[in-house]
Amino acid sequence: MEETPPPGCSKPHLEKLTLGITRILESSPGVTEVTIIEKPPAERHMISSWEQKNNCVLPEDVKNFYLMTNGFHMTWSVKLDEHTIPLGSMAINSISKLTQLNQSSMYSLPNAPTLADLEDDALEASENQPEKPHFDSRSVIFELDPCNGNGKVCLVYKRGKPALAQDTEIWFLDRALYWHFLTDTFTAYYRLLITHLGLPQWQYAFTSYGISPQAKQWFNMYKPVTYNTDLLAEETNSFVNKLDPSKVFKSKNKTLIPKKKGPVQPAGGQKGPPAPPSTSKSSSSPGNPVRK
């Protein structure tokens, strides 16, 4: 399905924004309703106001993104048995919704715990992993993508306030409030977002426990255009069904040719007389014709 560009927006602009991924989706079996909710560019004064309000300097690639579009939301669905199921979702919050991760009480009760109370310095990063963000004043964390409730992708300033652009990284906070490193820059994260097609729970492919079995089924049908696709098949051959999209979404409007009833074969392992030439193949077991 071709998305309709809003007034004043050209098709090349959408192609640049989505890196041409819409053509891949629209040519995939069963995919329908590929839509982009495009937004006008953010004004420069909006970016300056955000930086002054939060005492943080946005990285240049984040500024350039908001100067192109004030947020991003692209979705696509699949059609199964005449039912349309929303599947893929790619989102980046607008500058006004780029808000700091809530550090207030988790419950509206006196002396309720805060996110900072969950800090455990015993779980620091190893030599091969960067230092994880902190919920207290050591880090400043802003939400980029709510991930449809599966976690949060965050823009993290690692040195607290005043926060500098060179101190930013992109991290994924899962539902159990564990941190997982994604990329050093927003540009690299945006490419991951697009090339993973917005598949459900794709961020969990960058965690030690991986994505759920249900999500792996979708991954095997619509393989991400990225480097870690092989990680899906290696450990899941034993319990994930291999689905062929061309067969799942094949057209059901086929003309069935009535077959003549032949003589009933007696039960047993003996071979009958050779069958006359026919355009259709006989089944290996009586009574179960194979449809072409």
Q: How far is Cα 86 from Cα 31, in angstroms, rounded to an integer? A: 10
Q: What pLDDT sits at residue 171?
A: 96
Q: What pLDDT sits at residue 115?
A: 65
Q: What pLDDT sits at residue 25?
A: 87
DSSP-derived secondary structure for the chain: ----PPTT--HHHHHHHHTTHHHHHHTSTTEEEEEE---PPPPHHHHHHHHHHHTBPPPHHHHHHHHH-SSEEEEEEEEETTEEEEEEEEEE--GGG-PBPP-S-SSSSTT---GGGG--TTS---TTSPPPP-SSTT-EEEEEE-GGGTEEEEEEETT-SSBPGGGEEEEEEETTS-EEEEESSHHHHHHHHHHTTT-TTGGGGGSSS---HHHHHHHHHS--SSTTTHHHHHTTTTTS----HHHHT-----PPPP----PPPPSSS---SPPPP-SSPPPSSTT-PPP-
Residues 221-238 have pLDDT tens digits of 888 776 454 544 444 444
- Averages of pLDDT over runs of 10 residues in the chain (292 residues) are 43 73 85 87 95 94 94 91 88 94 55 60 58 88 92 92 89 93 95 92 91 88 66 46 52 49 52 49 46 44
Model's pTM, two decimal places? Answer: 0.70
- 232 phi/psi in degrees, rounded to 5: -75, -45
**Count of CB atoms within 10 A of residue 243's CB?**
12
Q: What pLDDT sits at residue 101?
A: 86
